[in-house]
Structure 1
Amino acid sequence: MTTEATARRTKDRPDRPRVAIVLAIGLLIVVAFQAALTLGAPFGVAAMGGTNPGSLPGAVRLVTGLAALVWFLAALVVLARGGRALVPVPPAVARVGTWVLVGLLGLGALMNFASSSPWERFGWGPFTLIMFGLCLALAKSGPLAHPAPRQ
């Protein structure tokens, strides 16, 4: 394979920024849901197995608050991986972070589909599976192409 062909293969895919943006929007939906739970919204039936209908107890709200922060950071990582960074994220952190997110979303999809809560099985399960697929595509998209220096 020629050097030019290799360069073409590893250049930024034109769909990478779009995938990253759609994935980040999905993650921000999760952030909004977790934040709502933290603030006492009565969505407990659609979270954590549905064992807490209504508002979540105080200790669980702390967990959802931390989860909201983690998912927000994940959105920043995927935007950086897609070449649309809002804050500086080292490329290695974006690459490894995206693969970690692939694992978390895959596990999350399995847990949602196995949940006793219909909201999780039929709502969050498919949603998380789509997010997993987007994240996997983003993680496998190869190294970011850097623009040529201006002369």
Structure 2
Amino acid sequence: MELLFVSIAAGILLLIVILFQLALACGAPWGSIAMGGKYPGRFPNHMRIAALLQSLLLVLIGVIIFTRAGIILSAYLDWSRMAIWGVVAYSLVGSILNLITPSKWERRIWAPVVLALLACSSVVALSA
């Protein structure tokens, strides 16, 4: 039951970030709270494409978490045992970057989200 709860929590966190990235890709003027605030306002086209690609990567991360938790794609459970550690590493790097970013709003908004995702993905990775 705990694994299901943690996986759903991770899925909700991922959904929030995916929606944010998709909004950036569609031209939302929130660049000051992403990518260290390097592109305040609307992202330039190349960064909008990057935000779209980030969304796709986050969907894959969700698939890995849900597969490792035994919720979907049971045929890939063995593969997910390795892949989940990539998710943990990605979350760790993301946590560090969001904690050291020059954007104070990025630190305030996204650091807690990515730290929570790190915690969730670690629990899933360490599950039996």
The TM-score, its normalising length taken from structure 1, stands at: 0.80
Unaligned residue ranges in structure 1 (runs of 5+): 1-13, 143-151
Q: For residues 39 and 88 of structure 1, do their structure 2 counterparts lie closer, same or farther at Cα, with a shift above 3 Å needed? A: farther
**Does structure 2 retain, via aligned residues, the 8 Å contact 1:45–1:52?**
yes
User: Helix, strand or coil: the match of 2:28?
Assistant: coil
Report what 1:105 is aligned to: 91
Runs of at least 4 residues of structure 1 off by over 2 A?
Answer: none
Q: For residues 16 and 127 of structure 1, do their structure 2 counterparts lie closer, same or farther at Cα, with a shift above 3 Å needed? A: same
**How far off is 1:63 after superposition?**
0.7
**How far off is 1:74 after superposition?**
0.9
More helix by share: 2
1:134 aligns with 2:93: no
**How far off is 1:83 after superposition?**
1.6
RMSD: 1.2
Sequence identity percentage: 33
Q: Which of 101, 106, 118 is 1:115 aligned to?
A: 101
Tell me, in whole angstroms, the C-alpha distance in 2 between the residues paired with 1:88 and 1:39. Answer: 34
Tell me, in whole angstroms, the C-alpha distance in 2 between the residues paired with 1:21 and 1:95. Answer: 18
Unaligned residue ranges in structure 2 (runs of 5+): none
**Alignment: residue pair count:** 128
